[in-house]
Amino acid sequence: MSVRSPSVLAVPGRPDPAPGTPARNGFRWILAALCLALAATMALSLLAGSVYLDPHAVYQGLIGSDPDALGHRLVWGLRLPRTLLAVLVGLHLAVSGLILQAVIRNPLGDPGIVGISSGASLLVVTVLLLGDLLNAGLLHNASTEISLAWLPFAALIGGLGAAGLVLGLSWGERVSPVRLALNGVAVGAVLNALVMWVVVVWGGARTEIALIWLAGSLYGRDFEHLLLLLPWTLIGLSAAALLLRPLSLLRFEDETAQSLGLPVRRWRLIALGVAVMLAASATAVAGPVGFVGLVVPHLARRLVGGDMGRLLIVTLLCGALLTLGADIAARTLTVSQELPVGALTSLIGIPIFLLLLQRRTRTHP
């Protein structure tokens, strides 16, 4: 009985344009341009670095059989895993930001601001240093290495805890942008202080490693890191795809979403869980890379508007593009020493963050 002829009430003489043809074509062009840009940037990432390789050398390195050639070692040992990792880390953080912004209905949703990065950092640093501590204190002869594979889980626990704290403190009628930012800054500061405390007190020989990791860097990452992250990418993106429809509705007020048949609390928790999972796993391998999750979804909305499916695809591509671009800049801008990629993304992100905060507080105090 819910199936009724929909044409009965149709108002005659009101021509409806064919559904979204110009918009659809526009979207295809954007998609094509982004894919092309990403491919070009990935190629550039293989060429550029402290040593410039010409395209021929890269090509030879990629398919060549001589494992001792410089090109082969640079491409397979350093640049290819690093490039792919930058792509994955970027898309993790950007998609996480997209989900957070939808769920908390707040343009300041970002894994860094919500506290995921700081919480994840604390646990990761603890786990990194725990290995040394165990070796030194308990097992004098053994070289127990805590497996890298534990890092994402540690990061996940830390991220969930910190995000829970920040969101719990900020949750009112809806999450007010200013309150969220302030709580995020406060919790982040405390957590970062704890991180430093852990590093300084327990750091010992690994202090430097921990510090480099904490700056958010893709330096020295290899295929092991890539394989570590990949399962999380696959799970996270599949979950995000399944989340699209509920996520679309979570952007509305609770009552609106509920009246459309969405169990709001359940889906909100699931969506937050996916966001934390994506951001925390990326943090586990690359360290806290700030502001990608904040900036990219806004950029994507500018490009394609409010459709969640399109937003997800464009966010994913832009996140990869931004992080990879920042990483290329990080290793080519300075000659002797490379910059951490997290520093560059923050450099780009913080002005945009301030702009957004200002604009929001002007319209909704």
Q: Which is nearer to other proteins, 259 or 361 (CB)?
A: 259
Instruction: List the one residue from 25, 50, 256, 361 that touches other proteins (CB under 8 A).
Output: 256
CA pair distance 170, 355, nearest whole angstrom: 21
Beta-carbon contacts of 323 under 8 Å, excluding residues fewer than 6 positions away, are: 86, 87, 89, 90, 93, 289, 292, 341, 345
CA angle at 281 for the pair 167 and 234, rounded to the nearest 5°: 110
Return the biggest CA–CA distance within the chain: 86
CA pair distance 101, 293, nearest whole angstrom: 9
Closest CA to 115 of 330, 295, 279, 271: 279
User: According to the binding rule CB under 8 A, does residue 246 interact with other proteins?
Assistant: yes
- Which of the residues 289 through 318 are near other proteins (CB under 8 A)? 301, 305-307
Instruction: List the one residue from 128, 181, 199, 262 that touches other proteins (CB under 8 A).
Output: 262
Closest approach of Cβ 303 to other proteins, in Å?
A: 10
Q: Which is nearer to other proteins, 68 or 255 (CB)?
A: 255
User: According to the binding rule CB under 8 A, does residue 20 interact with other proteins?
Assistant: yes
Instruction: List the one residue from 31, 49, 64, 105 that touches other proteins (CB under 8 A).
Output: 105
CA dist list (Å): 55 to 16, 39, 49, 73, 223: 52, 14, 13, 15, 22
Q: Answer whether 215's CB lies under 8 Å from 342's CB.
A: yes
User: According to the binding rule CB under 8 A, does residue 51 interact with other proteins?
Assistant: no
Q: Which is nearer to other proteins, 150 or 252 (CB)?
A: 252
Q: Answer whether 331's CB lies under 8 Å from 338's CB.
A: yes
Task: Name residue 357's amino acid.
Answer: L
User: According to the binding rule CB under 8 A, does residue 3 interact with other proteins?
Assistant: yes
Closest approach of Cβ 251 to other proteins, in Å?
A: 4
User: According to the binding rule CB under 8 A, does residue 4 interact with other proteins?
Assistant: yes
Q: Which is nearer to other proteins, 154 or 303 (CB)?
A: 303
User: According to the binding rule CB under 8 A, does residue 172 interact with other proteins?
Assistant: no
Q: Answer whether 155's CB lies under 8 Å from 120's CB.
A: yes
In three-state form (DSSP H/G/I as H, E/B as E, the rest C), the secondary structure along 295-357 is HHHHHHHHHHCCCHHHHHHHHHHHHHHHHHHHHHHHHHCCCCCCCCHHHHHHHHHHHHHHHHH
Closest approach of Cβ 258 to other proteins, in Å?
A: 5
How is residue 274 written in tokens?
Answer: 């996916």
User: According to the binding rule CB under 8 A, does residue 19 interact with other proteins?
Assistant: yes
User: According to the binding rule CB under 8 A, does residue 137 interact with other proteins?
Assistant: no
Give the number of other Cβ atoms within 10 Å of residue 209's Cβ. 16
User: According to the binding rule CB under 8 A, does residue 18 interact with other proteins?
Assistant: no
Instruction: List the one residue from 24, 28, 245, 265 that touches other proteins (CB under 8 A).
Output: 245
Q: What is the size of the binding site for other proteins (CB under 8 A)?
A: 41
User: According to the binding rule CB under 8 A, does residue 9 interact with other proteins?
Assistant: yes
Closest approach of Cβ 111 to other proteins, in Å?
A: 20
Q: Which is nearer to other proteins, 268 or 331 (CB)?
A: 268
User: According to the binding rule CB under 8 A, does residue 242 interact with other proteins?
Assistant: yes
User: According to the binding rule CB under 8 A, does residue 14 interact with other proteins?
Assistant: yes
Q: Which is nearer to other proteins, 249 or 344 (CB)?
A: 249
CA pair distance 159, 282, nearest whole angstrom: 11
User: According to the binding rule CB under 8 A, does residue 10 interact with other proteins?
Assistant: yes
Closest approach of Cβ 44 to other proteins, in Å?
A: 31
User: According to the binding rule CB under 8 A, does residue 241 interact with other proteins?
Assistant: yes
Q: Which is nearer to other proteins, 218 or 262 (CB)?
A: 262
Q: Which residues bind other proteins (CB under 8 A)?
A: 1-4, 6-11, 14-17, 19-20, 23, 102, 105, 241-242, 244-246, 248-249, 251-253, 255-256, 258-263, 301, 305-307
